Every structure is written in structure tokens, then in C-alpha cells.
Amino acid sequence: MRVLVTGASGFIGSHVTRRIVQDGHTVYGVDRQGVGQERLMDLIERIHFLELDLRDEGAVRSMISEIRPDCAIHLAWYAVPGQYWTAPENLDCASMSLSLAKALAESGCKRLVAAGTCAEYDWDYGFLSEAVTPLKPRSLYGVCKNATRQILQAYCERVSMGFAWTRFFYLYGPGEPRERLVPSVVLALLNGQTAKCTHGEQIRDFLYVEDVASAVWAVAQSDFSGPVNIGSGQPVKIRTLVEMITRLVRGSENVEFGAMPASVEEPPLLVADVRKLRAHTGWTPTRSLEDGLRQTVSWWQQNGE
């Protein structure tokens, strides 16, 4: 099977790409010019890398018509930590996603799987279910993701192209941007610095990135249609997560809870209902939170400079 992966060199995309290659499929990995492929260097001879700006509609059409993928996994989106929530680039990403879908349909692609977010939901509900929880995004990022999903779902139904929308929750693992929670704590402790945190009482749903990749690939290979949560389904306090990291790094004396204010916009609880994911794909995670954190800490010990 020929599989197109956009954002293939990114944090999530590199793990998804790796999983598909390991299953023996032909992968065309797309990223804009200048985005590094370091995460996949050991597989460089088994992946067809394409440097392309997905905002260039003509170039996208030409690329799609040439490779004619059987399946596309669209993960590319503006994701600069701390900026993506309100960035105007979200509008560009919505537009490029629609153009990509049209080009895929015209080339005969059979299935499109695209990346959504738990930020599409009404966070007042805490336990978030595809079938029950209202959609009420509070950021430009969430609004653009949700609008893109609505249009793509209607369009793919119209042109008889399979479509699934994977709503990601809280991901972590090797190669994650340094500014995010897990690597920022790990790196501070490894460098003998104080890891400054909020009170840590917020409850979240964390999933190791390799399990995220296997879940996305399971959805891609299924006939499931519509939105589906990608998470662990397990509620974990941020404080508990940080304490696990400190035990692994042996740096508990360098953690300061309450040193940073918690955002007033942050809900106390965000956890995924993953029953639909498991029912339609049979997917289950392979790593516990502690095992995933152990792998992550080990990776940063080797790559943290």
C-alpha cells in the first residue's frame, strides 16, 4: 500500500511513519523545505521524502497525481508551543487541508485520516466522548480544527473517500519539543536545575507517542468513519506525572510545585473516552505511563544536549 504522511518528520509524524515502514508499506513523507529528517535517519533509504509547502496548491496537486497514494495520513499543522492556540497560521492550515483532500479525492485515494484535537470539545465536561460531549472550542486553534473536520467529513462522504478524524489528547515521548511539560521537567532535572511547576492538581490523559502512532495506524487500516479519540483513557494528575519523572531522574529535591500560576482557562479534568477507538480497531496501548516515561528519560539522557 502507498501511504502519504504529511508532517512526516514531526514529533507525531516521525513515529507514525516509522510504524508504517516497519509494517512493510511504501511511505511518501511530506514536509516543507528546511524541516529536518533527523528523527528518521535510520530509515532514510526506505522512505520517499518530499519537500513541499502544502500551501502551494499547484505543487500539491502535481505531487498527489504523481504518487497516487492509497491512503493519506494528514498530520501537518502549525504547532509552535505556546503560539499555536491563537496563531493566524491556523487559517492557512485549514485551507491547505481542504486543498489536500480535494487533490487526494481526484487522484483516487481511498482513505484520509487527519489529525484533530481534544480542544474541539467543551472542556467543562472533563470526560470527553465523541458521541456525547458537545463541541465548543475556546481557541482559534480548536475552532479551525473543528471547522476543518466538519468540511472534510462532508466532502469525503460526497466523493466516497473514507475519512477518520483522530482527536489527540496529551502526548509525550522521545523527540517532543523541549518547551512542553515532560521534556521541560526532564531536562531541568538532568541539568541539576529546579523544575518549576504549577500546583499539579490538574488531571489529564497522557499517552506515549509510539502508542499514539500505533493507534493512528490502526484507525487508518480500519473502515471506521468520523472522529475518534486518541488517548489512554486513564486520568492522571500532573503532579503524579512529575513525581514519576523525579523518581526516574532521582531529582525530587529540585521540583517546586506552585512556582508557576495555573492558567485560569485550564480545566481541572480532561480525559478521553477511548471505547470507540478500541471497539473499532482492537487497539490497546503497549506501555504503562511509568514505562513510557522511563523510555523518554533515557532518550533525553542521550540526546539532551
- pLDDT score, position 262: 87
Q: How many angstroms separate the CA atoms of 171 and 223, rounded?
A: 25
For the residues 1-8, what does the mean pLDDT come to?
97
Asked whether residue 248 carries a pLDDT value surpassing 90, the answer given is yes
Bridge partners, 28 (sequence order): 4, 48
For 190-247, the pLDDT digits (tens) are 999 999 999 999 999 999 999 999 999 999 999 999 999 999 999 999 999 999 999 9
| Confidence category of residue 106, pLDDT binned at 50, 70, 90 | very high
The beta-strand segments (E) located in 84-241 are: 111-117, 127-128, 162-168, 170-172, 195-196, 203-204, 206-208, 226-230, 236-237
- pLDDT score, position 35: 65
| Confidence category of residue 37, pLDDT binned at 50, 70, 90 | confident
- pLDDT score, position 112: 98
- Reduced to 3 states, what is the DSSP secondary structure of residue 258? coil
- For 155, 221, 257, the CA distances from 9, given in Å and listed in that order, are 28, 21, 34
| Confidence category of residue 42, pLDDT binned at 50, 70, 90 | confident
Domains and CATH numbers, the chain: 2-169+208-231+275-281 (3.40.50.720), 172-204+234-271+287-303 (3.90.25.10)
Contact 145, 167 (CB under 8 A): no
Bridge partners, 27 (sequence order): 3, 47
CA angle 235, 14, 186 (to 5 degrees): 50
* Backbone φ and ψ of 32, nearest 5°: -70, 160
Q: How many CB atoms lie within 10 A of CB 45?
A: 6
For 174-190, the pLDDT digits (tens) are 999 999 999 999 999 99
The interaxial angle of helices 238-249 and 289-303, nearest 10 deg, is: 50
Asked whether residue 252 carries a pLDDT value surpassing 80, the answer given is no
- pLDDT score, position 64: 97
Q: How many angstroms separate the CA atoms of 46 and 62, rounded?
A: 22
When the pLDDT of each residue in the chain is averaged and rounded to a whole number, the result is 95
Q: How many angstroms separate the CA atoms of 270 and 284, rounded?
A: 20
- For 32, 45, 77, the CA distances from 49, given in Å and listed in that order, are 10, 10, 18
Give percent of the chain above pLDDT 90: 91
Bridge partners, 2 (sequence order): 26
Reported pTM: 0.96
Q: Among 24-33, 129-138, 272-281, where is mean pLDDT lowest? A: 24-33
Q: How many angstroms separate the CA atoms of 94 and 157, rounded?
A: 18
- pLDDT score, position 77: 97
For the residues 93-97, what does the mean pLDDT come to?
98
Cell match 531536562: residue?
187
Buried b (16+ CB within 10 A) or exposed e, 119-133: bbbebeeeebebeeb
Higher-confidence position of 108 and 264: 108
